[in-house]
Amino acid sequence: MSILINESTRLIVQGITGRDGGFHTQKMKAYGTNVVGGTSPGKGGTEVLGIPVFNTVYEAVEKTQANTSIIFVPARFAADAIKEAADAGIGLIICISEGMPTLDVIDAYRFVQMKGAMLIGPNCPGLMSPGKSLVGILPAQIFKQGNIGVISRSGTLTYEVVYHLTANGMGQSSAIGMGGDPVVGLYFRELLEMLQNDPETEAIVMIGEIGGNAEEQAAEYVKNHVTKPVVGFIAGQAAPPGKQMGHAGAIISGGGGTAAEKIAAMEAAGIKVAKEPSEIPAMLKAAMK
């Protein structure tokens, strides 16, 4: 198992003819992801890396039976791309694009919800089910197939943690970068539920950061519904209030969203919170005993 993506993932790349789209298509294909098509309006009928390009997602879905889409279009066109994917029947949409206006994300999310699809991102590195499928821009070589589920608001911090896990012989079932914007699709709660229900996952790492109160809500959920060991990490303890720390969502505002509050809530829910990423493998091992 694993969650969200696996061997039956049939991926299309929206914006496959762009620089980033093309580069990461190659990486995903090289990893073994089943990239069945790409879209680029006006370039239908051509090929990129041997992958057929379509004018619309509708056509791509019809011709390839794609079930998953990854979006590399510029931020100002991303909401439209998300909606097209959802309307065309794609069930899982991963939006890499960074810098989407928040109201665009809200609109697109509502649309995706109405169509019964799922959204990951925007402003995210995508996700990985090691040994099965890579849908994103994560560096494949640091991953190893195994039974730790990793969910995170940050890209490089995920890599850092996964690197330590792999170095310590602890493979991953699925790793999901949820995105750094204030409003994104699937988040801690939904993903915790999926990982809890995934037979292959034996323990979970959740990597949060300042801003919002999703980690507090996740902690509450862990307390009541998650029986698997959970280890956490929160970035931004040294961040000043009122300042966005890189991610649009990483901001302490109105006296809320501090790292201290999140860590307290997580510890109160029985989640062990690491002080540095390198501590995580040992903490997981202890918790899994």
Partner 1 sequence: MKIHEYQAKNLFSSYGIPVEKYVLCNVAAEAAKAYDDMAMERVVVKAQVLTGGRGKAGGVKLAKNREDVARHAETILGMAIKEFPVTKVIVSEAVNIGSEYYVSYVIDRNTKSVILMMSAEGGMDIEEVAEKTPEKIFKFPIDPLIGIPDYLARKFAFELFKDAAQVNQMAAILQKLYKLFVDKDASLAEINPLVLTNEGNLIAIDAKMTFDDNALYRQPQIHALFEPTEAEKTEAYAKEKGFSFVHLDGEIGCMVNGAGLAMATMDMIKLYGGTPANFLDIGGSSNPNKVIDAMTLLLKDPKVKVVLINIFGGITRCDDVASGLLTAFEQLKTDMPVVVRLTGTNEKEGREMLKGTHFRVAETMGEAVRMAVTAP
Q: Which 140-199 positions form the footprint of partner 1 (CB under 8 A)?
A: 141-142, 152-160, 163, 180, 182-183
Distances (CA, A) of 149 to 204, 219, 237: 5, 16, 24
Select the residue interacting with partner 1 from 52, 131, 179, 212 (CB under 8 A): 212
SS3 (DSSP) at 156: helix
Residue 102: CB minimum distance to partner 1, A: 5
Nearer to partner 1, 146 or 185 (CB): 185
Nearer to partner 1, 22 or 212 (CB): 212
SS3 (DSSP) at 155: coil
Residue among 207, 98, 105, 113 nearest 152 (CA): 207
Residue 100: CB minimum distance to partner 1, A: 6
Binding residues for partner 1, rule CB under 8 A, total: 79
Nearer to partner 1, 100 or 195 (CB): 100
Judged by CB under 8 A, the chain residues 115 through 134 that form the site for partner 1 are none
Q: Terminus-to-terminus CA distance in the chain, angstroms? A: 22
- Binding status of residue 225 toward partner 1 by CB under 8 A: no
Distances (CA, A) of 103 to 67, 96, 100, 182: 26, 17, 8, 11
Rounded distance between C-alpha atoms, residue 141 and residue 8, angstroms: 21
Q: Structure tokens of 140?
A: 């494949």
Nearer to partner 1, 107 or 202 (CB): 107
Q: Structure tokens of 230?
A: 């959970």
Nearer to partner 1, 51 or 273 (CB): 273
Piece of the chain touching partner 1 by CB under 8 A; list 168-176, 194-202, 231-239, 264-272? 231-239
Query: 57-64 and 75-87 helices cross at what angle (nearest 10)?
Result: 40
Residue 94: CB minimum distance to partner 1, A: 16
Rounded distance between C-alpha atoms, residue 95 and residue 122, angstroms: 5
CB 149 within 8 A of CB 178: no
Select the residue interacting with partner 1 from 134, 250, 265, 269 (CB under 8 A): 250
DSSP state of 253: B
Select the residue interacting with partner 1 from 248, 269, 273, 280 (CB under 8 A): 248
Nearer to partner 1, 51 or 61 (CB): 61
Judged by CB under 8 A, the chain residues 51 through 110 that form the site for partner 1 are 55-59, 75-77, 80-81, 83-84, 87, 99-107, 109-110
- Active-site position among 24, 164, 225, 247: 247
Select the residue interacting with partner 1 from 278, 285, 287, 288 (CB under 8 A): 278
Piece of the chain touching partner 1 by CB under 8 A; list 62-70, 197-205, 228-236, 280-288? 228-236
Count, in order, helices (H) and strands (E) of the chain. 9, 14
Distances (CA, A) of 121 to 1, 79, 134, 151: 22, 11, 15, 12
Is 164 catalytic? The answer is: no
What residues are annotated to the active site? 247
